[in-house]
Structures are given as structure tokens and as C-alpha cells.
Amino acid sequence: MTNVQKDTLSDEKFSPRVGLVYQPWSWLSLYGNYVESFGASNGRSSTGAPLTPQEGEQYEVGLKTEFFDGRLSSTLAFYHLTKTNLPTADLSTPRPDDVIQIGEARSRGIELDISGQLTDRLSVIGTYALTDAKITKETTVESFPANAGKPGDPLPGVPDHQGSLWAKYEIVPERLEIGTGVFLVGRSLGVGDIGPTFDAPGYVRWDAFAAYHFNLGGSRLTTQVNVNNILDKEYFSSTQFFGGGTLFPGDPLTVLGSIRIEY
């Protein structure tokens, strides 16, 4: 019979959320918000102790605009997010699932979203994010391993740049539509056996779809075909930082079909 260690933990914290919006003109809104978060860090450290809850603090300011009688809208935001007790791989032990918590990490950046109808049949959606994420404080654990990251090191797994541009065109209004889009993900840092020493390369992926809509009485039936990674490009979609660092390959050229009915 295997003995299972059980712990009962109780943590609480006041987490305020405050926001403000100012609209000087009908086409422009300025906003700002402040949020504090509190959540469990699932898992255990190499000593078997439960991980300390994560805490976060975020500031965000931005503006929202509308042009061409509301046909085109955009949002530009700047944010500053600080989190404490983030788990990362503990590479000082031979066990691949052991983790250790860094003291504090900071992420800040700019996000831009644009969407709208260029014509009655053509619509577009574009996004871009510039992110600067770094470790800002070490853990308080005395045996903090040097290969888990030090203040000033980039936060693993967070790309510098991300963006997408998607366009949809209605060949037959409310019947037949096609769309295509590109997704760009910049380089990010990976964690190797001696620390955060290798880059997870960035990539660009091209996708497309076609959909046809049927009216069945009071219902709407949609048949759709998606083609992902049209150029069959080899890329890494994500990284894992446990067990010495792993890169996961993205899906190759993939064709997906679907049928959806709305009542």
C-alpha cells in the first residue's frame, strides 16, 4: 500500500479591480485599469512542499478609436504586469518534474488590434504584440539553482513579437465566404541543462478556410473546410521547461472539415 502525502492549505487575499474610461469624442475613448490577482500554483517543490500561491499586479492604459462611421475600429494598449512565485524547472535535481519558484517576473509591452469592414464583402482583423518579459527577483530559497534563471534573464517561453493578419471575403453574401491569414511568432528563450541558453526560433504560418451556409427552415447549417500551415512549414509551436527543456513541433499541413448547425 502506497502512502499518499496530503496537505490542507488555506490562503486568502483581497484582489481589487479598478477601471476608468474617458470619451472626449465619439470616435475616441481613453481608458486605464488596475488589477491584482491571486491564484494557486499547482504542484510541489523538490522537497515535497506545496508551491506558494501566485500573486499578480497589472496596470494598463490605452485608447480605442473608430473610423469611417464605425466600419473600422482599433485598440492600442500599454500594460505592465508583475507576478510573484512563478514555477520553473528545478534543474538541480535529477527528477524531470521538480519545480522551483522564482521570486518575481515582470512582463510589459504594447498591444495593437485593428478590425473592420473595408467593403461590404471584405473584412480584416490584425493584431500585434511587442512583449518584454524578464525575471526581476530571485526566489528566497537558499539552494536556488543558477540554471533556473537570474534577475535580468528573459522569461522563458515568451516571444518578443507576435502578430496576425486575417482577411475574409464574402463571394456570395451570407452564403459563400473564404478567408486567409498569416500568423507571426518571434523567437523566445528556452531552458537547457545549464540554464536559459538556447532560442526557440520564430515562425510564420499561413492558413485559409472556405465556408458555405445553408438555411434549413429556421436553422442555419454551415459546412467549412480549414487548411492550416498551407506551406507545410516546419516550426516549433511551444516549449516545455521541465526535464531539461523541450521544443514541441507544430502541426504539418492539415485539412479539417466541420459541419455546424445553429437553431
Q: How far is CA 92 from the centre of its chain?
A: 29
Give me the amino acid identity at 116. Answer: G
pLDDT at 14 over 90: no
**Domains in the chain, please, with CATH?**
17-42+54-147+155-262 (2.40.170.20)
> Has this prediction a pTM greater than 0.85?
no
pLDDT given for residue 144 in this prediction: 45
C-alpha cell belonging to residue 59 = 496596470
Residues of the chain above pLDDT 70, percent:
79
Burial 156-175 (b: 16+ CB within 10 A, else e): bbbbbebbbebbbebeeeee
pLDDT given for residue 130 in this prediction: 97
C-alpha cell belonging to residue 202 = 520564430
46 pLDDT band (50/70/90 cuts)? low
Q: For residue 163, give the nearest of 208, 123, 130, 199 by alpha carbon.
A: 130
Q: For residue 179, give the nearest of 228, 222, 110, 235 by alpha carbon.
A: 228
- Tell me how far apart the alpha carbons of residues 23 and 9 are, in angstroms, rounded to a whole number: 45
**Dihedral in degrees, nearest 10, Cα atoms 142, 150, 93, 141:** 20
Residues of the chain above pLDDT 90, percent:
54
Per-residue pLDDT, averaged over 185-198, amounts to: 64
